[in-house]
Chains A and B, each alone.
Chain A
C-alpha cells in the first residue's frame, strides 16, 4: 500500500523529486526572507540606541 504510493506507478523517481525540490525552495525562500527581516530589525535597533547615546 505505502510501497505503491511511493512507487507512483513507476514514476516515483520523477514525482517525488519535483515535490521535494519545490518544498525545499519555498521553505528556504521563506526562511531567508524572515532572517533578513530579523537582521535588519536588529541593526536598526542598535543604530537607534547608538544615536540616542550621542545626543
Chain B
C-alpha cells in the first residue's frame, strides 16, 4: 500500500493510463450521445424531455461518487498520513463540484416543463444543494491556510462530517414525499427502465466516470508538481 504513496511511483503507473482514459471517455460519450439523442425513444409520459436524463442522472451519480471518494481519501489521509490520499481528495473536489452543479442545473431545466417549476425545496433537491455547498466549503477551507498540512486536516474533517449527506441524498426520495421520481436503475429487483434507455444512460455514466479519472490524474500530477515547487522554493530561501 505504502509503495503507491510514493508520488513518483504513482506517476509511473498513472501516466500510461491517461491516453486510455481520454480515448474511452470520448468513445463512450460519442456512442452514448448517439444512442441517447437519435436511437432511444421519447418517454411515454415525459416525451422528449427524458433525454435530459442521459446527462442529469450520470452527473448526480458522479456528484455522490466524487464525494464518497473524497471522504475515503480524507479518512486514509487522516488515519495513515498517506500523502497521496490528501492530494487525491483535493484534486477531486472541483470536479465533484462541477458535477453537482450540472445535476442541479439540468434537473432544473427538466423540472420546469415536467413539474411546472424550476425548483422545489424538497429533500432531494435541498440535500443536493447542501452537497454543492460542502464541496465549495471544502475548496475554500483547504486553500485557506498558509501551512498546507493544517488546511488539509481541517478540510478532511469537514468532508467526513459532511458525508452524512450522501445517504440522505440517495434515500431522500424514499423517505420523504417529493416531486422527484424514485430510483429506477440502482434499486432492489434490478433496473425498471427499458434497455433502449438504459444503454445510453450506462454509457454516459461510464464516460463521466472515465472523464473524472482522467481529469483527476491530471490534477493529481499538477498537485504533486506544485508540492515539488514549494519544496524547491523553500530550499532556495534557506540555501
Q: Do A and B bind each other?
A: yes
| Cα separation A14 to B110 with both chains bound (whole Å) | 7
Q: Residues of A contacting B214 with CB < 8 Å?
A: 30
Chain A CB within 8 A of B102 CB: yes
Q: Interface extent on B, as a size class?
A: 35 or more
If the complex has contacts A33-B215, A51-B232, are A9 and B59 also in contact, measured as CB distance less than 8 A?
no
Cβ of B49 and Cβ of A11 under 8 Å apart? yes
Other-chain contact of B109, A17, A37, A50 (Cβ < 8 Å):
A17
Q: Residues of A contacting B56 with CB < 8 Å?
A: 18
| Cα separation A25 to B214 with both chains bound (whole Å) | 15
Q: Residues of A contacting B105 with CB < 8 Å?
A: 18, 21
Chain A residues 35 to 54 lying within 8 A of chain B, measured CB to CB, are: 36-37, 40-41, 43-44, 47-48, 50-51
Q: Residues of A contacting B215 with CB < 8 Å?
A: 29-30, 33
Number of A residues contacting the other chain (C-beta, 8 Å)? Answer: 27
**B34-55, CB under 8 A of A: which get 1 and which 0?**
0000000010000111011001
Interface residues of B (CB under 8 A from A): 42, 47-49, 51-52, 55-56, 59, 94-95, 98, 101-102, 105-106, 109-110, 112-113, 211, 214-215, 218-219, 221-222, 225-226, 228-229, 232-233, 235-236
